[in-house]
Amino acid sequence: MIKIFVLIIGLLLVGLIFWWFFGKHKISTGESKVLENRQLATVIVNGGYNPAVLKLKQGIPTRLVFNRKDASSCLEHVVFSDFGIDKVLPLNKDVEISLDALKAGEYNYACGMNMFHGKIIVK
d(CA 49, CA 115): 11
Site string for Cu ion, 64-83 (x = CB under 5 A): ----------x---------
Residue 88 within binding range of Cu ion, rule CB under 5 A: no
Site string for Cu ion, 18-57 (x = CB under 5 A): ----------------------------------------
d(CA 62, CA 58): 9
CA 108, chain centre distance (Å): 10
Residue 101 within binding range of Cu ion, rule CB under 5 A: no
Nearest CA among 18, 32, 12 for reference residue 97: 32
Residue 44 to residues 26, 106, 122: CA-CA distances in angstroms?
16, 20, 19
Residue 8 within binding range of Cu ion, rule CB under 5 A: no
Residue 104 within binding range of Cu ion, rule CB under 5 A: no
Nearer to Cu ion, 74 or 101 (CB): 74
Residue 113 within binding range of Cu ion, rule CB under 5 A: yes
H-assigned helices in 1-123: 2-22
Residues that bind Cu ion (CB under 5 A): 74, 111, 113, 115
